[in-house]
Amino acid sequence: MGNIVAKKQSKLDKGSGLEKPFSGYHAKRGVTEDEELTHVGPGTPGGEYLRLYWQPVALSSELGELPLNVVMLGEELVLFRTRKGKIGLLDRHCSHRGASLEYGLTSDEGIVCCYHGWHYATDGRIIETPNDPTCKVAGNLFHGAYPTHEYEGIIFAYLGAPDDIADFPVFDTFVESDNEMVPFSLPMPCNWLQCLENTQDPIHSCFLHTRVSGVQFGVSWGELPELDYVKTPLGMMNINVRRWKDNLWIRTTEDMLPNMNQTGSLWLAAEEEESFTRVALTRWMMPVDNTNTKMIGWRYFNDRIDVKEGDKSQVGLGKIDFIGQTEDERPYEERQRVPGDFEAIVSQRDIAIHGLENLTISDRGVGMLRAMVRQGIRVSKTGRKYASLPRHFDGPIATYTQDTIIKKPQCNGDESKLMREVGREIAKVVRESDKLSPEERKIAVAKKAEQLIEL
């Protein structure tokens, strides 16, 4: 099962805590971001780590006949589709005199610079230099280029070293027969890490999504959960157990390092028994640069996840079908009165300053995630194995996000202990059944749930 973080903090982990009223004058000044974790440009520790994996560039629907300017991991690039349909991703500025290839003309083989006609293939090969036919560059030198892969409406790129390209990851949730995958892309004007951290802070849903802003998903989300955090082969997941009436709702939400997340059902009411209900979202927190992120992924639609509330027409470029995810979806004053994830995450500053935070026991998942990302950054340099996406694999990669609801009235003893035990047992079978088919995993979880009713 990995290491379950069970120790509880006995006091506040002070960052910028002040001990007297009206002490703004004495607040810490000059504290800066954790560059190792948050900076993503070429040559930075975090940037090199992220470059070991495929990252989403854009939705397929964004790429028409004209080239598209994109920025990934601090690099200015141009994305285009040749007349024969092949996708290219090149350094934006022409190798000749630096004109932007966003004004280039696509060809059967690649793209032609508007300034002097230099012609580039999708792999960066310089095909032709018509302004100087005697030039020896053509056929001998390459312009900066990156491999691409198009999958289910999203274009991905690999920005790492070309001599060790990872396999494109295909997860079990991608191939489940009843899923319709609808791609989306949401801009987040802040650092990528704080977007990912939100996924390992399940207690925020009690307040941001229920008690403070009103019920945004379901009344049961407002119940304080019992929490554990577990390492997985891909990264980590939280075990989030809520009491709702006579039911226990066991939710596991995972992050696949370095920058992926899968999240379960959005509007689950916890009123009816469920077994191993899978994901509503798969998403990458793709760093544009240090202070901007694109959250790109798929909303899943099927009979178990979205019976009434889901709306496919509201999912796509700059939009998604649940509240509080973009700046443009509502007027500013409304967002002040009823904030969502966007407001809470982005308002932490362009880059969250960890040294000014005051962490408590409910932030164990955030602390664990930061530690694992830091470990990934450092260990990746050595070539040793660590918890993260596999670089090479056979068959779909097993994942661990799910919701299970069992009928379990309150006990006369230690309710919190009971909830933690039930959560651990469900998470254990979810983890240990990862070699089974989706239907077999569902049966295994349901069998364990029946046993736990008698616990």
Give start and end residues of each alpha helix (H) in 183-331: 192-197, 204-206
Mean pLDDT of the chain: 91
In this prediction, residue 455 carries a pLDDT of 67
List, in order of start, the domains of the chain with CATH numbers.
Answer: 58-157 (2.102.10.10), 172-453 (no CATH)
In this prediction, residue 304 carries a pLDDT of 81
CB 211 within 8 A of CB 222: yes
In this prediction, residue 14 carries a pLDDT of 58
In this prediction, residue 18 carries a pLDDT of 74
What is the torsion angle, in degrees rounded to the nearest 10, for the CA atoms of residue 30, residue 34, residue 36 and residue 42?
Answer: -70
Cα separation of 81 and 370, whole Å?
37
Model pLDDT for residues 225-235, shown as the tens digit of each residue: 999 999 999 99
Give the total residue count for the chain. 455
Written as one string, the DSSP assignment of 26-69 is: GS--S----HHHH--STTSHHHHHHTTS-EEEEEGGG--SS-EE
- For the segment 149-169, the average pLDDT, to the nearest whole number, is 96
Cα separation of 423 and 455, whole Å?
12
In this prediction, residue 350 carries a pLDDT of 98
SS3 142: strand
Cα separation of 421 and 453, whole Å?
12
Residues 6+ apart with CB under 8 A from 183: 59, 60, 61, 152, 153, 154, 296, 297, 298, 315, 316
Cα separation of 204 and 363, whole Å?
10
What is the torsion angle, in degrees rounded to the nearest 10, for the CA atoms of residue 255, residue 62, residue 339 and residue 243?
Answer: -40
With a cut of 90, say whether residue 252 has pLDDT above it. Answer: yes
CB 330 within 8 A of CB 213: no
With a cut of 80, say whether residue 247 has pLDDT above it. Answer: yes
